[in-house]
Structure 1
Amino acid sequence: MKIAVFGTGMVGTAIAGALAANGHDVTVGTRDPEATLARVEAGPMGGTPFAEWHAEHQEIRVATFAEAAEGGDVIVNATNGSGSLAALKAAGAQNLAGRIIVDIANPLDFSEGFPPSLNPVNTDSLAEQLQRAFPDARVVKTLNTMNAAIMVDPGSVAGGDHSVFLSGNDRDAKDVVRGLLGEFGHRDIIDLGDITTARGTEMVLPLWLRLWGALGNADFNFKVARTAG
């Protein structure tokens, strides 16, 4: 499958590397490919500099958002939530029509410092905003309730005995995303319903951030324990 990954931080590089390792044809989309390939400083969360990461993943092409989207069957939105709409607009609505957009971003608002708040929240979500902005695309929200390492290696926590969620309006699109999650090793995949249910998973983030602070690391995930049957 041809997959475009938007975002060059820890999440985007983790997802792109794992998808390529699983045999997919992956292109990383960015605003300025030359500047991205020249980046030798660590990311804001201490991630590997992009130039160093790409030297180890030369099979992954780096292109503009529009070029990456044009050739992709699936687009993964791993950009900063505050810049997601702009990144997808830069890709061009014509290049998103009919495509599956896997939205793993969170609408974190750092305007008042840390910890961030959410914007939008309660009556809207980033995933819904993307679906409204690109009505011919098929947006599926997933993976936004865990850190990048666990997204692509769920077995690293509790042997993979934890949950991941899906939200989206298109059943076929969710089936494709379910398959990609299965390739990563996710087993407990819970379909929450239509795209409005993404409000719930995005609103997990304030709890996630406080757990990170309390535990001193991000090596955890949520499990929905339920009766059999």
Structure 2
Amino acid sequence: MRIAIIGTGNVGGAIARGLTGKGHDLVLGARDPGKVGALAAETGAQVAPPAEAAKRADIVILALPWGAAEAAVRDLGDLAGQTVVDCMNPIGRTAAGMGLTHGHTTSGGEIVQGWLPGALVVKTLNQVGAEIMADTVHLPHPPVMFMAGNDAGAKRKVGLMLADLGFEALDAGDITKARLLEPFGMVWINQALMRGKGRNWAFAAVSA
């Protein structure tokens, strides 16, 4: 598949590394190609301006800081009919400190779907740190990765990509279930960064 990664920081770079050698055509969407030259060389990815990278991609991955996401997504143009992965958690400053800025009545995933009404948005890859996205082979069990979206075909396509990253993909339901997945992602963040567990772990679904 042709996979465009919009946002080439820790998360976008980790996804690119995790998909390297898996038979996909990777395109890094970057306004400044010079800043992603090393990542492109490491992963064999092409580099293009974000809107060009997203055009005709089988999957467009949004790996942007939440505060910059709306403007960046709108600059991508019309993605009607395309599969778009939202791996962003809507984290910002709240009355209780840094946390989710959306929750019970909407979610980041639903907001992204509103920005891109014709796209097939799938919420996933928000439930673990970048290190695990880049490399899952050292884990004793395949880590689980839930996904939420309104289109079954888009979720099947994204599920194949998740399998290539080494995840067990589980369907959580429609895009409103991003209201479950984003707080779930915060559980990982709390354990990894606040409770001393560190970053080198993931959730797994272990059956009897």
TM-score (norm 1): 0.82
2:38 to 31, 52, 63: 52
Q: Is the 8 A contact 1:33 1:63 kept in 2?
A: no
One-letter code of the match for 1:22?
A: K
Counterpart of 1:215 in structure 2 is 196
CA RMSD of aligned residues (A): 2.1
Report the alpha carbon displacement of residue 111 of structure 1 after superposing the two structures with TM: 6.9
* Structure 1 unmatched ranges of 5 or more: 40-49
1:17-57 CA distance string (max 9 Å, x none) = 33242121111112x224xx1x4xxxxxxxxxx44333433
The verdict on how the C-alpha distance between 1:161 and 1:66 changes in structure 2, with shifts beyond 3 A counting, is closer
Q: Distance in 1 between matches of 2:137 and 2:42?
A: 23
Q: Distance in 2 between matches of 1:111 and 1:6?
A: 26
Q: Is the 8 A contact 2:94 2:101 kept in 1?
A: no
Q: Distance in 2 between matches of 1:53 and 1:27?
A: 11
Which shifted more, 212-221 or 176-185?
Answer: 212-221
One-letter code of the match for 1:101?
A: V
Counterpart of 1:166 in structure 2 is 147
The verdict on how the C-alpha distance between 1:122 and 1:6 changes in structure 2, with shifts beyond 3 A counting, is same
Q: Is the 8 A contact 2:131 2:199 kept in 1?
A: no
Counterpart of 2:108 in structure 1 is 126
Task: Describe how 1:58-73 pairs up with structure 2 within 5 A.
Answer: 59-73=44-58
* Structure 2 unmatched ranges of 5 or more: none
Counterpart of 2:84 in structure 1 is 101
One-letter code of the match for 2:28?
A: V
Identity level (%): 35
Counterpart of 2:14 in structure 1 is 14
Counterpart of 2:32 in structure 1 is 33
Q: Is the 8 A contact 1:152 1:185 kept in 2?
A: no
Q: Distance in 1 between matches of 2:196 and 2:106?
A: 30
TM-score (norm 2): 0.90
1:75 paired to 2:60: yes
